[in-house]
Structure 1
Amino acid sequence: MTEVDSANLIYVMGPSGAGKDSLLGFACERIGTCVMFAHRYITRIVADGENHIALTHDEFAARLSYGLFAMHWDSLGLRYGIGIEVDAWLARGVTVVVNGSRKHAQIALERYPQARFVHIDAAPAVLAARLARRPAFELPDGARIVRIDNSGMLAEAGTQLLDVLGAG
């Protein structure tokens, strides 16, 4: 792996239903091209509001075998990958935002030790049904984290995310 300044990586995570994709879309529309929002490669069709590239399981396996993912994980029968282009962007000093997995945060921290982690969440009543089926979330020791509560207006949480991205 080429040496990169991992301080420019912003790893966004949180439970399903917290509004990560909405917040990332909000920030992307307002911040312009000074920040790169990494696509995720996922073995499912593209859904509204989600920034990802759909791959078949065979396509994913081929890309994995060629070393084309900087990070990858499995969740609920799907495969997720972040392309190695993020390392090229980081090597050039570009700020990169990744929509990551809470369960993969430790591996991301090991690969990118200076990364900033942003945990998006919402009110317990909004997430209760989904969170009841998941283990408790714990950030890896040593990770720098910014917490954003997305229970209220999108613009409020979006402005907080813009502040983290240095564009607030």
Structure 2
Amino acid sequence: MSRIGKKPITIPPKVKVVVNGDSSVLVEGPKGKLEWKLPASISAKVDGEILAVERSSEQREDKALHGLSRSLLSNMILGVTNGFKRNMEIHGVGFKAAVQGTLLNLSLGKSHPIHFNIPEGVKITVTDNTKLSIEGIDNQVVGQCAANIRAYYPPEPYKGKGVRFAGEQLRRKEGKTVQ
């Protein structure tokens, strides 16, 4: 049995979990609501304040989906209660960011400004023009949004310029020496 999948999920008092007949799970809480369709071989049961995830067979793929489903449902419950947050930093001379409506405008030393469409359900705040805070209730969307922003200018090892996660350790390299 999957070690992660067999652990039951406790449902906090402010959260409402509904398992529909077509194997979709709806999680509603103080910050919003999320819905996810379970894989065909996985089922979920709500018993009081406990959500249990079960699988129909012992095949390898089903075992993997069992743990995955349990983790995703747990993240949904955490998201509607606390939410998820990723902090990012922009390093480089003249590099800055600004939010205008549903667009994040990035100036990253390229010949053109970068306009990033903020996904629905995600809130981005910019402080000091170089610090980004990405918040939302869906962990996958928040993480993917942060990864997409980082991909515009990943940190480079020689000067350390680029977009990075807060607290990310960057391995610096020495440049070539003239002989």
Q: Which has the larger radius of gyration?
A: 2
Give TM-score, length-normalised by structure 1. Answer: 0.26
> Which structure would you say has the larger RCO, counting Cα contacts within 8 Å and 6 or more residues apart?
1
Give TM-score, length-normalised by structure 2. Answer: 0.25
Give the structure with the larger helix fraction: 1
Give the structure with the larger strand fraction: 2
